[in-house]
Amino acid sequence: MMATAPGEPLIQLRGVAKRYGSGASELMALQGLNLDIAAGELVAIMGPSGSGKSTAMNILGCLDTPTAGQYIFKGVHVEALSRDQRARLRRRYLGFVFQGFNLLARTSALENVELPLLYRGDAAAVRRVAAMKALASVGLAGWEHHSPAELSGGQQQRVAIARAIVTEPAVVLADEPTGNLDSQRSHEIMGLLLALNREHGITVLMVTHEPDMAAYARRMVHFRDGRLVQDVQNPHPTTQAPPAEVAAPTSVTTAEAT
């Protein structure tokens, strides 16, 4: 079990660089990145395309490794871990939410949410109970047996969030979580992420291009050309109550309007 020393950030990046290619085709996606994230923060990560924010998220999510520098998570040097050790860290401590939902089309919402627990080797009964609880926590009690095609875009993203939190992670990494949603559904999803952060203490790191979505965060970091160029506190973050539960379906066969 990893443990963070008192007063120590949950996440520390020290001089992190990432290079792709070599010679004339060399690209420095990150250049000496220094960043601390405390447990329980909600941080918006912003910047233009090609600024390095997605590369940073991949490293934070243990999906990639830095070319140079240190990534310290709960006191452990992640850059020194083997591939299998990083995978175990990812399964135990991290949850992921993507812009495109990334749900399996031919399986139910319940089965989609169970997937991380299946990979972890949990028993079927344990998976089912945990997945039902996670779906209820995002307002989808009663929708467990519907396929993604029978859910709206907002509901699909709720399923994706339930899948991200079913393992009770320390950190949720959300990459443009509202990018495929209309304004109303976007604010509902942000209200949900805000509730998970405040009520459950989950650290949320969110990449977004949308200033009104970033406004929910108490801290905003901006990337440009592989560097962190601005790190500011938001003294007046947007606050919103958790979204109301979705009513249990009666006989739904097609997706509701988004």
Residue with tokens 């509730």: 195
Q: Calculate the CA dihedral of residues 243, 253, 104, 106 and round it to 10 degrees.
A: 160
The pLDDT value given to residue 253: 43
Q: How many CA atoms lie within 13 A of 186 on its CB side?
A: 17
pLDDT at 120: 87
Is pLDDT at 251 greater than 90 in this prediction? Answer: no
Q: Do 213 and 180 meet the contact criterion of CB atoms below 8 Å apart?
A: no
Q: 87 φ, ψ to 5°?
A: -65, -40
CA distance 184 to 155: 12
Q: What is the mean pLDDT of residues 23-35?
A: 91
pLDDT at 3: 65
In angstroms, rounded to a whole number, what is the distance separating the alpha carbons of residues 252 and 218?
39
Give pLDDT tens digits for 120-174.
899 999 999 999 999 999 999 999 999 999 999 999 999 999 999 999 999 999 9
Q: Residue 254: what pLDDT?
A: 41
* Among 11, 63, 10, 50, CA closest to 34: 11
> Rounded to an integer, what distance in angstroms lies between the CA atom of residue 208 and that of residue 194?
15
CATH classification number, 11-233, choose in 3.40.50.720, 2.60.120.380, 3.30.530.20, 3.40.50.300: 3.40.50.300
**241 pLDDT above the threshold of 60:** no
**How many C-beta atoms surround the C-beta of residue 120 within 10 A?**
14
pLDDT number for residue 255: 44
**CB 170, CB 94: distance < 8 Å:** yes
Q: What percent of the chain has pLDDT over 70?
A: 90
- The answer, yes or no, to whether residue 210 has pLDDT greater than 70, is yes
Digit-coded pLDDT (tens) for 38-87: 999 999 999 999 999 999 999 999 999 999 999 999 999 999 999 999 99
Average pLDDT for the chain: 90
pLDDT of residue 136: 95
Please tell me the predicted confidence (pLDDT) of residue 61: 96
- 44 neighbors 208 (Cβ within 8 angstroms): yes
Say what the pTM is.
Answer: 0.87
Provide the pLDDT confidence category of residue 99 given band limits of 50, 70 and 90: confident
What are the domain boundaries of the chain?
A: 11-233
